[in-house]
Amino acid sequence: MTINQRKKGHDFERKIAKNLQIDLGLKKPVRRILSQYQEKNHPDLKIGRWNIECKAYKKGFEPLSAWWEQVKGVTSVDDFPALVYKFDNKPIRVRVRMSELNGVFFDETKLVDLSWDSFCYLLKNTFQDDLEGFM
């Protein structure tokens, strides 16, 4: 990974942390987990039970399956994985398990990609408990 790619990744993580604070109306900032670079099993960001992995790439349309495996790998049984990704000149998208949208979906291999606004709506309206530590 080149220095420019690493900087782009860090900048995107900071942008997502800031967007979470603004778009969810949080009083406390969402901080990047810097130990992710020294130790395994840490997401880029964590908000309540949500483990968030951020990926920003120049070209593409569909996120790599390895990205989803990465966020799943840092998510414990009681937590929720979220993959926030963006390709140049495309909007931010968020991949989550369908079971987080509705409890009737039990198959955790079924995924759905949401717009950024839809993801924030999901957090505000279904996962308020996870936001309490930031209010």
- pLDDT tens figures, 70-80: 999 999 999 99
Helix (H, G, I), strand (E, B) or coil at 14: helix
Q: Is the pLDDT of residue 46 over 90?
A: yes
Report whether 83 contacts 55 (CB < 8 A): yes
Q: Over the Cα atoms of the chain, what is R_g? A: 14
Closest by Cα among 74, 105, 81 to 95? 81
- Domains in the chain (CATH in brackets) are 3-130 (3.40.1350)
- pLDDT tens figures, 90-132: 999 999 999 999 989 999 999 999 999 999 999 999 999 999 9
Calculate the dihedral angle through the C-alpha atoms of 28, 34, 48, 57, rounding to the nearest 10 degrees: 100
In terms of residues, how long is the chain?
A: 135
The pTM (predicted TM-score) of the whole model is 0.90
CA distance 22 to 27: 9
